[in-house]
Structure 1
Amino acid sequence: MLELKAGALQARIHPEIGGLIAALEWQGPDGRLHPLLRAPADLAPSTVAPNRMGSWAMAPFANCAFDRIIDDGEQRIALPDNRLGGGHCIHGFGWESDWVVRGHTAGHTVLEHRREAGPDPYRYRVTQTIALDEAGLTVKLALTNEADQALPYGLGHHPWFPAAPDTRLRMTARGALLFGGEGYRATGASALDGGGPYAEGAVFATGGEVAWSFLGWDGTARIETPSTGLAIVLTASESLRCPVVWAPPGADFLCVEPQSHAIGSPSETAAREAAPLTQLAPGETLEGWLRIAPEAL
């Protein structure tokens, strides 16, 4: 485990467990230690299944390749099942891998995950540069195609933010996927009026599942919880403007996941038409960044 610290911020990172940022905490002006990422005391970091804690990189694609297939309209690539028998491949391979530490200081680390073998043609190198400053945490991602052929790639990060019944989410987007059938399979996409359901900072908790794959996000999301006196501001690069927003019923968390493509784009035609993966020739690189910053309410 690595520890980072800068001013009132501190983070714990597990390179050997999926490169997981297991905790991010901020000592606010009120003297309290506020969790900026969900880190339940009874949940241990693990690569057995994607953790419902912290934040972790998604590569060489984000979210789900249904039926274990990458289909970019020209080629179909079979992938291994990494969803505990669910028949799909989820969030790529970085979250279940041992990342190598390439550099580490008090407030900065560089992690690398490299895939050099497997039943499919994906061979790549992805680096996470994780840095704390006194105002927030920044994660920079860079994924390079090391295969001997052009392949479709995607990137993302999966933060699990703490939430309470009074938590409000403020973000705007121009559109969203339409889901139908099992497991968020896209049937199309639609424009959103007025910036979408969270443009005015709606209360997030609805009593039911929340699931959106937004398109045309402006790159900023603000999560406010008056009962804790905390606001969390998430920003992301132009390359990660297809965020997934998700939480199951009654959850004490919400996910706002900056990613480079829509849910299901690896395998689903409707999702690919809305926001596809990025075709990388051998040696080409896909980059992106996100930042998490606290504010006192």
Structure 2
Amino acid sequence: MSVDAAQQWTLSQGDLTVTVSPRGGSILQAVWRGTPILLPAGGPEGAAACFPMVPFGNRIAGNRFSFGGESFLLQPNTDELLVLHGDGWLDTWHLADRTGNAIELDLVRRQSSRSPYAFQAHQKVHLEEDGLSLSLRVKNLGGAALPFGIGFHPFFRRTPGMTLQTGVRDMWREGEGHLPDGRQDIPTDLDFSTPQAIPSRWINNAFGGFAGKASLFWPDIDLALDLNCDPVFDVMMIYVPQARTDFVCLEPMSHLPNGHNLPDLGGFSVLKQGEELAGTIRMTVRQMPRNGEKNDG
């Protein structure tokens, strides 16, 4: 079903309202009881509050990788030197199905001189009574096996009192071209094993061994959000820019940035023609008890 890229769809369920765009298959906003949870801060026009990353996330060194005895070259897809986040976040998706609290979108990409990837992607945005689930599936339509990955890039609201809690195993340094250049010990100010504030400095690091769970706490607006991800998402990217202080990106991914060029493919899944990779993330919003109040929920 063809749609105009300017079209939008609004879904509501319980206390949550979400607006979805075919451009990039992106969420433009997510509002809980009138309070924004996801902010429009990314995407090609800065209008996306969350977008899918397919058939890979982040960057590839030199826009090149070798696999199966062949070398592959990709062309930049933004004004950056390195190809970024695959194709899904820049393309127009097509409406596959819509119900009162869910929408499903499809995208088909044919192989071209700009990328060796040919694939079909399917995304489902599903609102529940207290949260949002995002499901992403990719199928290799090409004739050759290639490394495939998936991920999501949400822009979570950031407030002065916000804290983060999540479990990871290791951290990768950010090197030239925003590419990871090796593991390092997790510094104290990025150890979120217990809730702590996110430091107000540039952060753009991959964390391996992500346990699939993270929680954001906004005591200044009495809200919390629990992020639960399928096991396929075992890498978490944390991105905090210096130019803006109103959002933080927690990006569940199935692979490390530049995994194409790592000896073990950095978690990428090798898909033969017709094979699929899929995963779901869930965001559950809850009211935080104010000081002196009990939370019976």
User: Of residues 257, 263, 287 in structure 2, which corresponds to 1:296?
Assistant: 287
Could you tell me how far apart the structure 2 residues matched to 1:186 and 1:292 are? 27
**Using a 3 Å threshold, how does the CA distance of structure 1 residues 274 and 152 change in structure 2: closer, same or farther?**
closer
Residues 74-109 of structure 1: per-residue CA shift (max 9 Å, x gap): 43211121121x221000000110101000011011
> Which residue of structure 1 aligns with residue 196 of structure 2?
202
Number of residues of Structure 1 aligned to a counterpart in Structure 2: 279
- Name the counterpart of 2:173: 178
Call closer, same or farther: CA 1:50–1:280 in 2, change over 3 Å.
farther
Task: Specify the SS of the correspondent of 2:235.
Answer: coil
**TM-aligned CA deviation for residue 229 of structure 1:** 1.1
Unaligned runs of 5+ in 2: 1-7, 289-297
Please give the alpha-carbon distance, in whole angstroms, between the structure 2 residues aligned to 1:213 and 1:240: 12
Structure 2 vs 1, CA of residues 50 and 216 (structure 1 numbering), >3 Å: closer, same or farther?
farther
Q: Counterpart of 1:30?
A: none
Cα deviation for residue 274 of structure 1 reads: 7.4
Q: Tell me, in whole angstroms, the C-alpha distance in 2 between the residues paired with 1:222 and 1:66.
A: 32
Aligned residue for 1:62? 57
1:281 paired residue number: 272
1:106 aligns with 2:100: yes
- The corresponding residue for 1:2 is 9
Aligned counterparts of 2:45 and 2:253: Cα–Cα separation in 1: 16
Task: Quote the residue 1:35 is aligned against.
Answer: 36
Q: Tell me the equivalent position of 2:4.
A: none
1:234 maps onto 2:235 in alignment? no
TM-score normalised per structure 2: 0.87
Q: Which amino acid letter does the alignment assign opposite residue 12 of structure 2?
A: K
Residue from 121, 135, 139 that aligns with 2:134: 139
What corresponds to 1:259 in structure 2?
253
Report how far residue 185 of structure 1 moved: 2.3
Mean alpha-carbon deviation: is it higher for 272-281 or for 148-157? 272-281
Q: CA distance change for structure 1 residues 83 and 70 in 2, over 3 Å: closer, same or farther?
A: farther
Q: What stretches of structure 1 move > 4 A for 4+ residues in a row?
A: 190-194
Per the alignment, do residues 73 and 247 of structure 1 end up closer, same or farther by CA in structure 2, a change over 3 Å counting? farther
Does structure 1 residue 152 correspond to structure 2 residue 159?
no
After superposition, give the CA deviation of every residue in 1:128-177 in whole Å (9 maximum; x if it has no partner): 01110102111111100000110111100100001022210100111122
Contact kept? 2:180, 2:206, Cα under 8 Å: no
TM-score by length of 1: 0.87
- The percentage of counterpart residues that share the same residue type is 26
Task: Supply the RMSD in Å over aligned alpha carbons.
Answer: 2.2
1:189 is the counterpart of 2:183:
yes
The alpha-carbon distance between structure 1 residues 246 and 37, as it changes in their structure 2 partners (threshold 3 A), is: same
| Inter-CA distance 246–83: structure 2 relative to 1 (3 Å threshold) | same
Paired amino acid for 1:4:
L
1:25 aligns with 2:19: no
